[in-house]
Amino acid sequence: DIVMTQSPDSLAVSLGEGATIYCKSSQSVLYTSNNKNYLAWYQQKPGQPPKLLIYWASIRASGVPDRFSGSGSGTDFTLTISSLQAEDVALYYCQQYYSSPYTFGQGTKLEIK
């Protein structure tokens, strides 16, 4: 199984400041035949299901604000929020869909400083 490890486990950032969350996979999730990274990011608020933010490591899902961006390739990925808004307080998860079982990181809790 591919193990996904996020860092940090929690993060406190001031409103308007940037936030970066890291995700590392135990093996590459880059499929060389199409040069795509099989990596997604989700946001989860209390009492709600996860919401897709990013797929193919860097493509924003429909309706996701452009302050959210994803980058990285192979085994190392980042989710960046350029200017933190109050509504961004949530848990964030990365997920690999390169191979079954489709595994998630342990989550990063983002709070306001």
Partner 1 sequence: QVQLVQSGAEVKKPGASVKVSCKTSGYTFTDYFIHWVRQAPGQGLEWMGWINPNNGGTSYAQKFQGRVTMTRDTSISTAYMELNRLTFDDTAVYYCARPDCSSTSCRNWFDPWGQGTLVTVSS
* Binding residues vs partner 1 (CB under 8 A): 38, 40, 42, 49-52, 55, 61, 93, 95, 97, 100-107
Query: Residue 23: which of 89, 104, 99, 81 has the closest Cα?
Result: 104
Cβ 108 to partner 1 shortest distance, Å: 10
* Cβ distance to partner 1 smaller for residue 75 or 92: 92
Cβ 16 to partner 1 shortest distance, Å: 28
Distance CA 103, CA 86 (A): 28
* Cβ distance to partner 1 smaller for residue 34 or 66: 34
Provide, for the chain, the percentages of residues in helix, strand and coil under a 3-state DSSP scheme, each rounded to the nearest 5: 5, 50, 45
Cβ 9 to partner 1 shortest distance, Å: 11
* Cβ distance to partner 1 smaller for residue 85 or 99: 99
Distance CA 60, CA 27 (A): 24
Residue 83 sits at φ, ψ, to 5 deg, of: -150, 100
Distance CA 61, CA 66 (A): 10
Cβ 50 to partner 1 shortest distance, Å: 6
* Cβ distance to partner 1 smaller for residue 14 or 60: 60
